[in-house]
Amino acid sequence: MADQKKLFIKTYGCQMNVYDSERMAEALGGAGYIATDTPDDADMILLNTCHIREKAAEKVYSELGRFKGLKAAKPELKIGVAGCVAQAEGAEIMRRQPMVDLVVGPQSYHRLPAMEAKAGNGQKALDTDFPEEDKFAHLAARPKAQRGPSAFLTVQEGCDKFCAFCVVPYTRGAEVSRPVDRVLDEARDLVERGVREITLLGQNVNAYHGAGAGGDWSLARLIRELARIDGLARIRFTTSHPNDMDDDLIAAHGDCDKLMPYLHLPVQSGSDRILKRMNRSHTAEQYLRLIERIRAARPDILLSGDFIVGFPEETEADFAATLALVEQVRYGQCYSFKYSTRPGTPAAERAQVDEDVKADRLQRLQALLSRQQAEIQDAMVGREVGVLFEKPGREAGQLVGKSDHLHAVHAQAGAERIGQVARVRITGSGANSLAGQVVEV
Query: Do 151 and 193 touch, CB atoms closer than 8 A?
Result: no
Q: Name which position in 19, 61, 130, 162 contacts ligand SF4 (CB under 6 A).
A: 162
Note the Cα 89 to chain centre separation in Å. Answer: 22
Binding to ligand SAH, residues 287-326 (CB under 6 A): 306, 308
Residue 202 phi, psi (nearest 5): -170, 150
Sheet holding 197-201, edge to edge: 150-154, 197-201, 234-238
Q: Which is nearer to ligand SF4, 97 or 204 (CB)?
A: 204
Q: Which is nearer to ligand F3S, 48 or 429 (CB)?
A: 48
Q: Name which position in 44, 168, 245, 309 contacts ligand F3S (CB under 6 A).
A: 168
Nearest distance, CB of residue 337 and ligand SAH, angstroms: 4
CA-closest candidate to residue 200, choices 166, 151, 251: 151
Q: Name which position in 84, 115, 139, 245 contacts ligand F3S (CB under 6 A).
A: 84
76-84, 87-95, 281-289, 336-344 -> range binding ligand SAH (CB under 6 A)? 336-344
Cβ-based neighbours of 171, under 8 Å, separated by 6 or more: 51, 84, 87, 88, 105, 106
Q: Which is nearer to ligand SAH, 11 or 268 (CB)?
A: 268
Query: Do 64 and 80 touch, CB atoms closer than 8 A?
Result: no
Query: Do 201 and 183 touch, CB atoms closer than 8 A?
Result: no
Amino acid occupying residue 316: E
24-32, 80-88, 160-168, 427-435 -> range binding ligand SAH (CB under 6 A)? 160-168
Residue 75 phi, psi (nearest 5): -60, -25
d(CA 185, CA 88): 32
Give 110: exposed, middle or buried? Use CB within 10 Å, 0-12, 13-18, 19+. Answer: buried
Site track for ligand SF4 across 177-216, x = CB under 6 A? --------------------------xx------------
Query: Do 135 and 172 touch, CB atoms closer than 8 A?
Result: no
User: Which of the listed partners (ligand F3S, ligand SAH, ligand SF4, none) does 222 bind, with a CB threshold of 5 to 8 Å by partner kind?
Assistant: none
Element (H, E) at 16: helix 15-29
User: Which of the listed partners (ligand SF4, ligand SAH, ligand F3S, none) does 162 bind, with a CB threshold of 5 to 8 Å by partner kind?
Assistant: ligand SF4
CA separation (Å) from 129 to 72, 106, 116, 160? 31, 9, 17, 18
Q: Does position 172 bind ligand F3S by CB under 6 A?
A: yes
Nearest distance, CB of residue 23 and ligand F3S, angstroms: 14
Q: Name which position in 9, 50, 82, 115 contacts ligand F3S (CB under 6 A).
A: 50
Q: Does position 329 bind ligand F3S by CB under 6 A?
A: no
d(CA 367, CA 6): 44
d(CA 199, CA 18): 12
Nearest distance, CB of residue 375 and ligand F3S, angstroms: 29
User: Which of the listed partners (ligand F3S, ligand SF4, ligand SAH, none) does 303 bind, with a CB threshold of 5 to 8 Å by partner kind?
Assistant: none
Element (H, E) at 264: strand 262-264
DSSP 366: H
Q: Which is nearer to ligand SF4, 164 or 294 (CB)?
A: 164
Residues of each annotated binding site for [4Fe-4S] cluster: 14, 50, 84, 159, 163, 166
Q: Name which position in 42, 166, 187, 400 contacts ligand SF4 (CB under 6 A).
A: 166
Amino acid occupying residue 354: D
Contact residues for ligand F3S, defined by CB under 6 A: 13-14, 16-17, 50-52, 83-84, 167-168, 171-172, 203
**Residues at the site binding ligand SAH, with contacts judged by CB under 6 A:** 52-53, 165-166, 168, 203-204, 239, 241, 266, 268, 306, 308, 337, 339-340, 342
Q: Which residues bind ligand SF4 (CB under 6 A)?
A: 159, 161-163, 166, 168-169, 203-204, 241
